[in-house]
Chains A and B, each alone.
Chain A
Amino acid sequence: MTTSTQCAAIEVSCLSRRYGSKTALNQVSLQVKPGRVFGLVGGNGAGKTTLIKHLLGRLKPENGSVRVFGFDPVADPVAVLSRVGYLSENRDLPAWMRVDELIRYTQAFYPKWDTAYAEELRAQFGLNDRSKIKTLSRGENAKAGLLIALAYRPELLLLDEPSSGLDPVVRRDILEAIIRTVADAGRTVFFSSHLLEEVDRVADDIAMMFEGRVVLAGPLDEVKEKHRRLILRFDSPQPSPPKLSGVLSISGSGNEWTAICNGKRDEAVAATARAGGRVVAEDSPSLDEIFVAWSEAKTT
């Protein structure tokens, strides 16, 4: 147990959090291995930002525990924050500073700051030294935030909805930064997103959250291989969605229905036969479809 805690970049066990009567996090457990890109997927209000705040020690666990590189972020913030580069969803940079001032200001906090790398990123991102933060566009603001999160080469890059509201060119810069970070041996990326296309591209592992709970977690390839999309055809039209065991969600009308299942394909096929139907086509659903299937499974 001790060994695995020391090995994991992030280890969250049975973390729960309530805001008044609302449960923001419900028994969340997840593990992020070093050197991997971990994508946290969930709708608005699923609890992603609350979870990230716990990783940074900005919220104290009510129940359960959080460890980042084996350290408790609340008890030992210096050990955690000196290893973590963080880009917040709101990009709360000091508006009155210039870009060069922001860089010098942030540099002062980090002994490992890499001046050459910071300058390389500034040039690559096309940020003007003399521009005031408050005059930056949304995309430039995100790049400035990314620059100061990356320039001390953190062991863990933590990004909260890095692409939200950004154009494709800036999103590309952010994806490149993720790829570069993890290509630099041993470094780890944890990011939350509702843009599944991006998660699909860069994540090694994912966790899917709904209403404060992790409903699905694992290596992305495994998740995709375990889910199957079955097109079902029934001899007689079905007035309502057929209830079939082994099926996560079902949609369609009349004789033909599309079912998504998770690992229980054979069970679903047998249930379909019992209900007077058969499988006419089968393939792999996209991450988008898997997400929708789980969100429907949650509400029924």
Chain B
Amino acid sequence: MQLHVSTGDGVPIYLQIANQVKHLVASGRLAPGDELSPIRVLAHQLLVNPNTVARAYLELEREGVVQKRHGSGTYVSEGGSPLARKERLRIISERVDALLVEARHLQVEPQELLRLIRERSQAIQPKEEK
């Protein structure tokens, strides 16, 4: 599990970590049942505060992406995120809106955007499912 944090932009480090783990899970580089690096190990590796890593893991746990197992570690959840479908669609709709606004500002037509989404979707598919 290789993550990178950058302090150049304004995104809080715990969010950077949480988002990157989600990305790894979505792209199949972390599979259900895989163990995340222990908090202290990751803190040392990224040279960030262990409290920050703990907060990122807590966030991921709250969203159901990972699960803590008593007395051992933090693992990628089996069977994906337990969030209700409606809730998941609501979250993703917000992202879509932001994307549409940005596309409009950059004068990218919706048709072109759809093509781009399909293209990117294929690019991040886990290899075995291609």
Q: Once the chains bind, are A179 and B13 in contact (CB under 8 Å)?
A: no
- Asked if A281 meets B105 with Cβ closer than 8 Å, knowing A37-B51, A176-B47, A179-B48, the reply is yes
Interface residues of A in 62-81 (CB under 8 A from B): none
Q: Does A221 contact B (CB under 8 A)?
A: yes
Q: Which of A183, A204, A224, A227 makes the CB contact (< 8 A) with B43?
A: A183
Most B CB contacts (10 A, CB to CB) among A37, A200, A229, A284 go to A200
Contact string against B for A residues 36-57, beta-carbon threshold 8 Å, 1 for contact and 0 otherwise? 1100000000000000000000
Q: Does A283 contact B (CB under 8 A)?
A: yes
Q: Which of A145-187 contact B (CB under 8 A)?
A: 172, 175-176, 179-180, 182-183
- Known contacts A221-B14, A284-B10; A183/B50 CB under 8 A: yes
A232 close to B (CB within 8 Å): no
B68 in the interface (beta carbon within 8 A): no
Verify if A246 is at the interface (C-beta below 8 Å from B): no
Contacts A179-B43, A183-B43, A197-B7; is A202 near B105 (CB within 8 Å)?
Answer: no
Is there a chain B Cβ closer than 8 Å to A201's Cβ?
Answer: yes
Chain A, residue nearest B46 (CB) = A201
Give A172's nearest chain B residue, CB to CB.
Answer: B47
- Does B49 belong to the interface (CB within 8 Å)? yes
Given contacts A197-B7, A221-B14, contact A36 B51 (CB under 8 A): yes
Interface size on B, residues (CB 8 A): 20
Determine the chain A residues whose CB is within 8 A of the CB of B80 once the complex forms: none
Pairs of residues from A and B, 5 with the lowest C-beta to C-beta distance, nearest first: A284-B10, A200-B7, A221-B12, A183-B50, A197-B7
* Residues of A that sit less than 8 Å from B by CB: 35-37, 172, 175-176, 179-180, 182-183, 196-197, 200-204, 220-221, 224-225, 227, 229, 280-281, 283-287, 289
* New A-B contacts (10) at CB < 8 Å, excluding given A200-B7, A202-B49, A286-B9: A37-B49, A176-B47, A204-B52, A220-B12, A221-B14, A224-B10, A229-B10, A284-B10, A284-B11, A286-B10
